[in-house]
Amino acid sequence: MFGIYSACFAFPSAKASEPIGTIPGVTLSRSTGNHLFVPVHVNHQPAWFAVDTGAALSIVDSQKARHLGLSHVTGQVLVPKQIEVNNRVVPVAVVSNLEIGRTDLGSGPVALIDLRDFHARLRENGTRVTMDGILGLDILQRYNAIIDCRNQRIYLDVEGDNSARSVVDRARQQHFNRIPMRITHSGALEIEGTIGPRQYSFVVDTGGFATLIPFEVAAQSGIAVIGTTVNAKGIHSKERPVGLALAPQLTLGKYFLGPVLIGVTGLPEGPEDLRFPFGGLIGADFFFERNGIIDVGNKTLYFK
């Protein structure tokens, strides 16, 4: 699980808090650090969650769990009382009520992780927000989420609501590129591609501020790396320097993207159940620059 870079337990079937016709999706806010934030209510308390396809499990900041009224897992909840996140054991708690927009998702388990080092400033108005939690792939998959990076909206399929299909229909009409995605058993959203002649698997990661490949992949491909003053920090990892490189031959799916500027850094090892060696993270810069639409339910990535 990569989570924010600056066995999925699902919430039960949702109950809509008001008629389905009033749920046209929820506005997302883009931060100056290229993260997407959505306003939520946790146990009726307002909070900001990052939308992160790179996180297998949804998360709440452990420092705010008591304020948000979270209860620790009891024997009645069929999930482990603790799980591993990036090789560290973390506790699991239960959210009694999670609301996104007008949609009440009910109760479900979340990992408790210290997120106090992660905060953001929203681009549209300069508002500073804390990262109170992370909306991970468990919920995104459960509710067939469609993340429209072009228009900064997220749609959840609740009790048959399919209003988001128009987003996908327009993408097809406008001849967007389409790439199949796969959700691995470990909870990674995988797409396939190449760097030069080598085949790799990449993780679709809206929590990553930029597209990043590991130093070893750059070395294997003979790509020169230029040092920068930028550092990246992931959950349970130290700050690591990020270099800049020009990948002369990058493909995703069957599409040749041409020479592409990408970041190069020390990434954790990729999930063991990828189809090909781990090539890196396809981050938020790609989705914003290419009008990305991530259709989690139908496991399809659209982009220009």
User: C-alpha angle 274/131/167, rounded to 5°?
Assistant: 60
Q: Which residues contact 118 (CB under 8 A, 6 or more apart)?
A: 4, 6, 50, 130, 131
Left if phi > 0, otherwise alpha if psi is -120 to 50, otherwise beta: which for 76?
Answer: alpha
- Which pLDDT belongs to residue 118? 85
3-class SS of residue 289 = helix
- Which pLDDT belongs to residue 75? 44
3-class SS of residue 231 = strand
- Which pLDDT belongs to residue 87? 56
- 8 Å CB contact between 203 and 54: yes
Domains and CATH numbers, the chain: 15-172 (2.40.70.10), 179-303 (2.40.70.10)
Pairing of strands 108-113, 59-61: parallel
- Which pLDDT belongs to residue 101? 84
- Which pLDDT belongs to residue 245? 96
- 8 Å CB contact between 40 and 47: yes
- Which pLDDT belongs to residue 103? 86
pLDDT digits (tens, 9 = 90+) for 96-143: 999 998 888 999 999 999 998 888 899 988 889 999 999 999 999 999
Distance (Å, whole) CA 127 – CA 244: 29
**Assigned token pair, 304:** 């220009």
Closest CA to 228 of 210, 216, 201: 210
Distance (Å, whole) CA 110 – CA 91: 9
- Low-confidence residues of the chain: pLDDT under 70: 1-24, 72-88, 159-163, 236-237
Please give the torsion angle defined by the CA atoms of residues 38, 39, 41 and 45, in that order, rounded to the nearest 10 degrees: 140
